Chain A
Amino acid sequence: MTSPMRIRANVRDGVVDVRVLMAHEMETGQRVENGRPVPAWFINEVVATHNGKTVMTAQWGPAVSKNPYLQFRFRGGAAGEKIAIKWTDNRGESRTDEATIA
């Protein structure tokens, strides 16, 4: 089961500032618990879509922290429009959440 992301998107002078908090364990695969290694489990791709168009993709690895925070900006968004964020992890699990640009 995955938990919802918290997404905030604000437009100013045609530039949309997007801030995303994702809930994810982000296990590095380096950690040992009770004598057994904990398998790697991390988000390896983040895609941001605005009006069906990809405005950002990110390839992530195990060095990104637990419950990661991501901020980026893009041009061309307007208030009231939607921005969708999708993450996919190395287990193939994914989650998409949407927010309205304010």
Chain B
Amino acid sequence: MKRRWYGAAAAVLALAFGGGLTAQTQEETQRGIEAYRQALQQGNPAELFEAQGEELWKKPMGPRNGTLEQCDLGVGPGKVAGAYARLPRYFADTDKVQDLESRLLTCMERYWGIDVQPVIDAAYTAPAKREIIALTTYVSGESKDVVVDVRPTHPKERAAFELGKRMFFFQGGSHDFSCATCHSEDGKRIRLQDLPNITERKGSALGWGSWPAYRVSAGQMWTMQWRIQDCFRQMRFPEPIYTSEATIALSVYMAATASGETMRTPGIKR
């Protein structure tokens, strides 16, 4: 009863002094969101995916019955620790700039001997994507607390960065949106989700450094490719192909902007 009365009083006061109190309420909401997030951090089910991914990394698979233990993620064959913090990067053997997911596809093709096209074509929720999602989560976990170090130097890396930047600011589609519409200002959010300002270092790290992430409401493990694909959907852009040039370029732009900050992967989201 008492609490209800306070609530009514607060509402009246809020009407009377509009601005100031609204700011305070917003702060309270923000604190509530923070508390909820901290509670979630306790048991991140992404760990279950990391465990699956680690098993898959070591298990002989596919027609070649090979393992990914020889897979070079850019820091040497079979080396996983810290690899994700240095991706995307240029790989001489494929003559391409690759992010973690496209590099894993290369390795699955090479060492497992599987056709990766069905993996590319499959929906994110389809069984064909399960392995790569688990592997991505595992590798990302091995870069937790590692400083992001993506500095485009190779001409193809530089080109990818410029393309990614253009992609980020490219405005279009039926809703006349760009990535920058939501991600170029501080303090924006959609419901409970903060929208990081990707145009600067700290903000970009909040985004780039927290994917792949487990999404509690859906019970799904989302990779950065999935995150980007869904941003495209929300902007009403054509759906990007899995590990396509545009998505990797965007990742180069985000990772390079976040360089110097720390990876907090795998993350957890509402």
Mark A residues whose CB is within 8 Å of B: 3-4, 6, 19-21, 23, 26, 65-67, 69, 71
Complex contacts, A65 vs chain B, CB 8 Å: 216, 219
> What CA separation (Å) do A21 and B216 show in the bound complex?
13
Q: A6-B51, A23-B48 are contacts. A69–B42 as well, Cβ < 8 Å?
A: yes
Q: A19-B42, A19-B43, A21-B43 are contacts. A67–B51 as well, Cβ < 8 Å?
A: no
> What CA separation (Å) do A9 and B51 show in the bound complex?
18
Q: A66-B219, A71-B42 are contacts. A3–B47 as well, Cβ < 8 Å?
A: no
Cβ of B106 within 8 Å of any chain A Cβ, yes or no, is: no
Cβ of B45 within 8 Å of any chain A Cβ, yes or no, is: yes
26 intermolecular pairs with C-beta atoms under 8 Å apart:
A3-B48, A3-B52, A4-B51, A6-B47, A6-B48, A6-B51, A19-B42, A20-B43, A21-B43, A21-B44, A21-B45, A21-B47, A21-B48, A23-B45, A23-B48, A26-B219, A65-B216, A65-B219, A66-B45, A66-B219, A67-B45, A67-B48, A67-B214, A67-B219, A69-B45, A71-B42
> What CA separation (Å) do A26 and B43 show in the bound complex?
17
- Encode contact with A along B29-52: 1 for CB under 8 Å, 0 otherwise: 000000000000011110110011
Which of the four size classes fits the interface of chain B?
Answer: 10 to 19
Report A37 CB to chain B, min CB distance, Å. 18
The interface residues of chain B, by DSSP majority, are classed as loop
Chain B, range 41-96, C-beta contacts under 8 Å to A: 42-45, 47-48, 51-52
Mark B residues whose CB is within 8 Å of A: 42-45, 47-48, 51-52, 214, 216, 219
Q: What residue in chain A is nearest B47 (Cβ atoms)?
A: A6
> What CA separation (Å) do A3 and B219 show in the bound complex?
15
Q: What residue in chain A is nearest B45 (Cβ atoms)?
A: A67
Q: What residue in chain B is nearest A67 (Cβ atoms)?
A: B45
Complex contacts, B216 vs chain A, CB 8 Å: 65
Report A45 CB to chain B, min CB distance, Å. 20
Report B197 CB to chain A, min CB distance, Å. 31
> What CA separation (Å) do A69 and B43 show in the bound complex?
6
> What CA separation (Å) do A92 and B47 show in the bound complex?
25
Q: What residue in chain A is nearest B40 (Cβ atoms)?
A: A69
Query: 16 extra interchain contacts, Cβ-Cβ under 8 A, other than A6-B48, A67-B214, A71-B43?
Result: A3-B48, A4-B51, A19-B42, A19-B43, A20-B43, A21-B45, A23-B45, A26-B219, A65-B216, A66-B45, A66-B219, A67-B48, A69-B42, A69-B43, A69-B45, A71-B42
With a 10 A CB-CB cut-off, give which of A4, A65, A67, A71 has the most chain B CB atoms.
A67
Complex contacts, A69 vs chain B, CB 8 Å: 42-43, 45
Complex contacts, A21 vs chain B, CB 8 Å: 43-45, 47-48
Q: What residue in chain A is nearest B214 (Cβ atoms)?
A: A67
A-B complex: 6 closest residue pairs judged by Cβ atoms: A69-B43, A66-B219, A67-B45, A23-B48, A6-B47, A21-B43
Complex contacts, B42 vs chain A, CB 8 Å: 19, 69, 71
> What CA separation (Å) do A71 and B219 show in the bound complex?
19
> What CA separation (Å) do A6 and B214 show in the bound complex?
16
> What CA separation (Å) do A20 and B48 show in the bound complex?
11
> What CA separation (Å) do A78 and B51 show in the bound complex?
27
Complex contacts, B214 vs chain A, CB 8 Å: 67
Complex contacts, B219 vs chain A, CB 8 Å: 26, 65-67
Complex contacts, A6 vs chain B, CB 8 Å: 47-48, 51
Complex contacts, B45 vs chain A, CB 8 Å: 21, 23, 66-67, 69
